[in-house]
A = this chain, B = another copy of it.
Amino acid sequence: MTAKPVIVLVRPQLGQNIGKAARAMLNFGLTEMRLVAPRDGWPNPEAGPAASGADIVLEQAEVFATTQDAIADCSHVFASTVRRRDLVMPVVGPEEMADRIAASPNRSAILFGPERSGLETEEVALADAIVTVPINPEFASLNLAQAVILLAYEWSKEANLAQPTAKELEPRAPHGELEGLIAQINDELDAKGYFHPPSRTEATRNTLRTIFTKTGWSSREVKAVRGIIRALVNAPRQR
């Protein structure tokens, strides 16, 4: 049995929308909600009434300071957003996302941005892939709860199938481990004066993140690459 995906609301604004998202989730059997820096704090008295009975989702919701923290134990992370010109990342539809979640034995997460502005570039860059609902190009007006319900619905269809088709050979490493690798590379490159000029540092760091996030490396492989980085920067081994 595959793990149910975690729904991560990044900097949600209105408690009402958090409640509606909880209701959308529970309709399709999703129960694990994570909140990253909710604007009005947590708990929020406006969430309960909007959840229409999906209180258990709100009661179990966990709050995190950063998106990184919220996805540290998740192996597959999807960012729900429109396609981004500023990032070179895989873009999948809801069905492909559901396939990938079902094929993984580990925990997955789907990120949703704030109601008005959506996810920031750095937040999208944390994900393995963008998930986009194909929508009327002349009227694209999905609200938060609608985006949640459509993706939860696709997940539930896939989860009802008896057996996932392709199992992963070696499960992907949790994102926390990937973060460790990316931080190590960043630090070592910093020490070499790699990030230059300063005006392009942010873009370079995002590129570097997407390159290493898309690898699909397992925990064992992340460890191996960390060992390689260490060997490259160290003095030659004495025998």
A207 within 8 A of B: yes
Residues of B near A29 (CB, < 8 A) are 136
CB within 8 Å of B: which A200-219 residues: 207-208, 211, 214-218
Copies assembled: 2
A-B contact pairs, 30 of them (CB 8 A): A23-B141, A27-B136, A27-B139, A27-B146, A28-B136, A88-B218, A93-B165, A132-B165, A133-B153, A134-B163, A134-B164, A135-B156, A135-B163, A136-B156, A136-B161, A136-B162, A145-B146, A149-B150, A185-B228, A192-B237, A193-B239, A194-B231, A194-B237, A211-B217, A211-B221, A211-B225, A215-B215, A215-B216, A215-B217, A229-B232
**Chain A 150-169 residues near chain B, CB threshold 8 A:** 150, 153, 156-157, 160-169
- A142 proximal to B (CB < 8 A): yes
**How far does the Cβ of A206 sit from chain B's closest Cβ, in whole Å?**
12
Measured between beta carbons, the chain B residues less than 8 angstroms from A166 are 91
Task: Check if A14 is an interface residue, CB within 8 A of chain B.
Answer: no
Cβ B90 vs Cβ A232 within 8 A: no
Within 8 Å of chain B (Cβ to Cβ): is A33? Answer: no
Contacts of A233 in B (CB 8 A): 232-233
Q: Which of A115-134 contact B (CB under 8 A)?
A: 132-134
A residues at B contact (CB < 8 Å): 23-24, 26-29, 52-54, 83, 88, 90-93, 96, 132-137, 139-142, 145-146, 149-150, 153, 156-157, 160-170, 185, 188-189, 191-194, 196, 207-208, 211, 214-218, 220-221, 224-225, 228-229, 231-239
Q: Kindly list chain B residues whose C-beta atoms are within 8 Å of the C-beta of A225.
A: 211
A234 to B239, CA, bound (A): 22
Asked whether B170 lies within 8 Å of A156 as measured between CB atoms, the reply is no
Given contacts A90-B169, A136-B162, A164-B134, contact A53 B237 (CB under 8 A): no
Whole-angstrom CA separation of A196 from B192 in the bound complex: 27
